Amino acid sequence: MRRLEYFVAVAEAGSFSKGAAALHMSQPALSQQVALLEQETGQRLFTRNGRGVEPTDAGLALLVHARGIFELADKARVDMRERQLMPSGRITIGLPPRVAHAMTADLVQRFRGAFPDAAISVAEGLSIRLREWLVAGRLDIAVLFDPPASPLLHMETLVREPLVVMAATPLPARMRLADVADLQLVLPSRPNALRQLLEKESQPKGLALKVVAEVDSIQTVLSLVARGVAATVLPASSLREWTHDTPPFIAAIHAPVIRNRLILAVPKARPATRLSRFVVQLTRELAERHYGQDAQVP
């Protein structure tokens, strides 16, 4: 490409000296580069005349090719700049169901408004599955509840949300974990992150949770609570999912206070792109909007 530029400069200037001046280089260096191009093409590209040089027939043919090549190169540069300003491609984010229910509509709408030429995929699943998919390269970003540490992932705590007891019958304003263990509970089944967090806090204290039903759907758990079948323990923001006429009784858990962590995770080995940086920042904003009132933001 550089030798073609030198060749075109000489052809348009009509002499090596004028071409060298336009290129801000010495005439011998320019002559050497054109000679190397002639060796590469196997053609003599210029003939001398009384005023300087003019292209041979082969030189005229190469001049047409060179100008076409430069035009294509300019189009490529413009295309790359436009893609930088308005990138295309696809990004995939994994969300736990409860988070997906709260954030997906805003996430997709904001993303599409910012990047109309790009696509976003939202995969729902339990945190343990999303973490596996993230490590395996099936996801670009994931939001996880209380994941174990991994040397392969960069993890950022978005919020820390307190767990509360919900029931259809009256509860005290605050309950010790030992008192919670005396309640009949409906909880998600293992390996749900919330279930693991509760058991991690209760087992070292010799407390056995009385789980009378295991249900993974938060909506179904709340329906069972509304019917008085059992109490449950959920993050405080889960109250927003309550759709029944009579509100539940709520008790804060203390001694100890238990908070789950909402984590933003990305693979360390995957380079950040404009799309991924936007989705990461947008996820931070949406987590604050949807969970900030009920949680502690680190």
Q: Give the mean model confidence (pLDDT) for residues 102-119.
A: 94
Q: Classify each residue of 187-212 as buried b or exposed e, where b means 16 or more C-beta atoms within 10 Å of its C-beta.
A: bbeeebbbbbbbbebbeeeebebebe
Residue 24: burial class (beta carbons within 10 Å; 0-12, 13-18, 19+) = exposed
Q: What is the pLDDT of residues 208-233, one digit of tens each?
A: 999 999 999 999 999 999 999 999 99
Predicted confidence (pLDDT) at residue 21 exceeds the cutoff of 80:
yes
What pLDDT does 80 receive? 76
pLDDT band for position 110 (50/70/90)?
very high
Please give the mean pLDDT across all residues of the chain.
92
Beta pairing partners, 46? 55
The mean pLDDT value for 34-60 works out to 94
Rounded to 5 degrees, what are φ and ψ at 50? -70, -25
Are the CB atoms for 188 and 220 separated by under 8 Å? no
Helices 16-23, 2-13: crossing angle, 10 deg rounding: 130
The rounded percent of the chain whose pLDDT value lies above 90 is: 82
Kindly report, residue by residue over 42-52, the tens digit of the pLDDT: 999 999 998 89
pLDDT of res. 71: 85
Q: How many CB atoms lie within 10 A of CB 18?
A: 16
Percent of the chain with pLDDT over 70: 96
Q: Do 195 and 126 form a contact (C-beta atoms < 8 A)?
A: no
Tokens of 202: 């209760």
d(CA 41, CA 55): 14
Q: Which residues make Cβ contacts (< 8 Å) with residue 233, sequence separation at least 6?
A: 163, 164, 165, 166, 180, 185, 187, 194, 198, 253
Is residue 236 within 8 Å of 295, Cβ to Cβ? Answer: yes
Q: What pLDDT is recorded for position 297?
A: 42
Residue that the structure tokens 């509970």 belong to: 185
Distance, in Å, from the CA atom of 60 to the CA atom of 47, rounded to the nearest integer, reads 12
Cα→Cα distances 133→125, 142, 225, 271, Å: 10, 9, 33, 17
40 pLDDT above the threshold of 50: yes
